[in-house]
Amino acid sequence: MPKYVYSFTEGNKDQKDLLGGKGANLGEMTGLGLPVPPGFTITTEACRFYMHHGSNPEELAGQVTAAIDVLEATFGRKLGAASEPLLVSVRSGAKFSMPGMMETVLNVGLNDQSVLGLAEFAGDERFAWDSYRRLIQMFGKTVLDIDGDLFAEALDAKKRAVGAASDVDLTAADLQDLVATFKAIVAGQTGQAFPQDPRAQVDAAVVAVFNSWNTDRAKIYRRRERISDELGTAVNVQSMVFGNLGPDSGTGVAFTRDPATGHPGAYGDYLPNAQGEDVVAGIRNTLSLDDMAKIDATSYEQLRQIMTTLENHYRDLCDIEFTVERGKLWMLQTRVGKRTAAAAFKIAIQLVDEGLINLDTALDRVTGDQLSNLMFPQFDPSAAKRLLTKAMAASPGAAVGQAVFDSPTAVQWAAEGRTVILVRRETNPDDLSGMIAAVGILTARGGKTSHAAVVARGMGTTCVVGAEALAVDPAARRFEVGGVTVAEGDVIAIDGSTGEVFLGNVPVVASPVFQYLDEGLEKALAGAGADGPAAELVMAVHRILGHADAVRRLKVRANADNGEDAARARRMGAQGIGLCRTEHQFLGDRRKLIERLILAHDGAVRAAALDALLPLQRQDFIELLTAMDGLHTTVRLIDPPLHEFLPDLTQLSVSIAKREARGQIVSDAEHELLVAVERSHESNPMLGLRGVRLGLTVPGLFALQVRAIAEATAQLIRSGLSPKPEIMVPLAGAYVELDLVREEAERIIKEVSESEGEELFIPVGCMIELPRAALTADEIARAAEFFSFGTNDLTQTTWGFSRDDVEGGFFDRYLELGVFQVSPFETIDVRGVGQLVERGVKLGRQTRPEIGLGVCGEHGGDPASIHFFNRVGLDYVSCSPFRVPVARLEAGRAAIAVAEGSGTA
């Protein structure tokens, strides 16, 4: 027979899948001999049965009865009895902590008779009636689905009637009247009396907790935390103990170390003569644990001993809830405590130095997201702020500057020494110069992988996107939000870690961790102070990141398009360049040259454009290869669709039509340009003439880039450097496409080698970003010396999504419906896109066992995706320079997970 109920004496901390986190830890504390109020746990399996069948399993009722019988025998009291009644709490407890997301019902077992027995047992009539009204209110709202405002309004009305300032001023008689009112609300709303059968209360409360797993707020929380909807929650039924029975009673919460700073020592709050909800609600000012020592030294000393026991046992910061009932200490809950990013790193190293854990465990205790939070500046939390709106946090950091509404203004003002924030409805590639000039980017549209978000993260620029409340008017150079108008030049502040947008200046606190990663340990420690908390944090990050580098298998490269970004990536620990987007080198003044090259029908015009571009490209690669001297540098040949380099067809057509309508002269050259743009216009340019197709149809384009790479390499070799370029062909879908480009590239490399008198070895590979390429990787590998999986485009072409369109369209709805747990552009879709990557790896190595395999794009810096790439056997990931430390840390964590047998994505 299936077992659905476990006594606390049967559980342990390793059974979170079955008993949930709370039940598992209650069982663990019971096993340690700590004073835990007896109880039992109904398993997550029972919840899943209920979710799938709409009813409890047949065996559950009998098992709950047996468990209650044991509780009653243990206490010598009966559930809901008229004399000295046993009362229980019914609480949720999922595998992963979901604070406040699911339901709890306290004081279960009280009825019209047992309330009298509780009053006699406690010697406090007011306490008993207050407990009864709390049960009816909580049960009515949670179990019977009655509008909670009805109870709240009745409570307020009673306080007004008797002149009570707060709940605690109500007398026993007042509360007895309120119980009658609450019971009338229940009868009026449900057509039935409040249940007097204690067992019926328990059963109904259990079902209510099961149902609370699927409330809207619980679903939203799980999506945010990436918790599976299929896990279900356990239910903990625990005998009630009361901290509000007089001055020798109380309740509190304690931490074995400071969860905010990581500082060792006991931290917590205590309230004498109170229940746990009073601490959480903030109804009364709490006392410190030191104050508790003065009030009840015996209980305090016992608590401190238990805290030490638990931290040594769990080998981690513990969060503890406790109650003192008439001088008797009871432990109600413990869990590994949540902590800030800074505290996570510091506590991990403290525990290493104390001999409780090793460096592998310390590395596993921190995350890339936490490291990312430590890298970026933050607003001073104590500063006064005026919030305008809150949107999507796209790139962490804190930025303050004058609002500007176009890129030319951003560039001009930045050149004048002003600090600016670029505000746009959305950004496009033409905004790159303004994005570079700005300290922050704010858009009214877009998602986490929109253009603004992707580019901002790549540059390490603070960014907030999707601020739909903003009415941006670029023509008027202003935006409006909530009745406030912000004009160009007004100062705003954006928080890329929270998505908040503020009016006016907000002071910024610098990050010592970023200084360490960008400038080195010595400078960071000098700036942080030798013995202060900042220095402790820097050293903790240094030690853990160093261990990650020592254990990881995956190498970490960077996406960088120029020498400055490459140099920064190298300082951040990059082991090469995994993606140089050469199209970014053709923006600005060079765009006209590419336009002429693409539209040229005359060989002389094409040759002139190529001649003008060659020295510029050669210098680009000299700077890049110099910064990455001795490290592999993968250069992707020009990739974007034609429309990004050509005038907009609609704008050009309208401009010419208006001028002709006014009788103005339009030159032949302009008419020829319009004809050429019309000829090149594509309905779906992302799937049109781009990548390898562009190289094969526009004579000389790829040859120009290959020659520039080869000449730059030869020049650097002569100067004594050791450049290691690799040429990557984009969007290849067939062996023949790649082979044609490879043959031309090898011919040009040979020519340059002979003319320059230097031996050149420049591998040629390709991106795998089309499903066909992944499925035929064995064929393509015949012409490729390496693969780099372009998972951004691979995701688009696998799902049939246009990323720029869908993120601002139906993605939010898909997340709400559970189609996605997370955007597939943020974390790789393991079951779909991931299978293509895995197949591409397998097929590529079948043909060419020594083939190099990597990934570039947004997924290369995503912690969850890195674990997947490690598992399927890639050689490296490549990400933006500012994500390199995060990738290094997660690659180390992935290696440890594989070694421990849990290497899943």
* C-beta separation of 601 from 651 below 8 A: no
All residues at 6 or more sequence positions from 608 whose CB lies less than 8 Å from its CB, including other chains: 596
Name 378's bridge partners. Answer: 509
All residues at 6 or more sequence positions from 588 whose CB lies less than 8 Å from its CB, including other chains: 433
Q: Three-state secondary structure along 105-122?
A: EEEECCCCCHHHHHHHHH
Distance CA 132, CA 138 (A): 10
Distance CA 124, CA 111 (A): 17
All residues at 6 or more sequence positions from 130 whose CB lies less than 8 Å from its CB, including other chains: 167, 170, 175
How many residues are listed for the chain in this entry?
A: 905
Strands 328-336 and 318-325: antiparallel
Element (H, E) at 775: helix 771-775
For residue 474, what are the CA distances in angstroms to 403, 414, 423, 424, 480?
A: 11, 19, 9, 8, 11
* C-beta separation of 904 from 866 below 8 A: no
Distance CA 395, CA 503 (A): 19
Of 683, 701, 682, which is closest to residue 691 (Cα–Cα)? 701
Structure tokens at 69: 């019988």
Distance CA 104, CA 209 (A): 7
The residue type of 94 is A
DSSP assignment, residue 316? S
Which sign does the torsion angle of CA 828, 360, 378, 526 carry?
A: negative
Of 86, 78, 92, 76, which is closest to residue 42 (Cα–Cα)? 92
Structure tokens at 389: 């709106």
Annotated catalytic residue: which of 47, 318, 451, 547?
451
Annotated catalytic residue: which of 856, 859, 867, 879?
856
Clarify whether 47 is annotated catalytic: no
E strands in 310-408:
318-325, 328-336, 378-379, 387-390, 392-395, 398-404
Distance CA 78, CA 850 (A): 73
Of 47, 39, 167, which is closest to residue 102 (Cα–Cα)? 47
| Ramachandran quadrant class, 645 (left: phi over 0; alpha: psi -120 to 50; beta: rest) | alpha
Distance CA 682, CA 678 (A): 9
Q: Which residues in 99-123 are b (16+ Cβ under 10 Å) and which e?
A: eebbbbbbbbbbbeebbbbbbebbe
Distance CA 139, CA 451 (A): 49
Clarify whether 318 is annotated catalytic: no
* C-beta separation of 855 from 515 below 8 A: no
All residues at 6 or more sequence positions from 48 whose CB lies less than 8 Å from its CB, including other chains: 230, 232
Taking residue 544's Cβ as centre, other Cβ atoms within 10 Å add up to 24
Burial class, 74, CB count within 10 angstroms (exposed 0-12 / middle 13-18 / buried 19+)? middle
Alpha helix locations (H) across 354-418? 359-365, 368-375, 407-415
For residue 245, what are the CA distances in angstroms to 274, 326, 432, 701?
A: 8, 7, 66, 84
Name 86's bridge partners. Answer: 79
Q: Three-state secondary structure along 151-185?
A: HHHHHHHHHHHHCCCCHHHCCHHHHHHHHHHHHHH
- Active-site residues: which are they? 451, 856
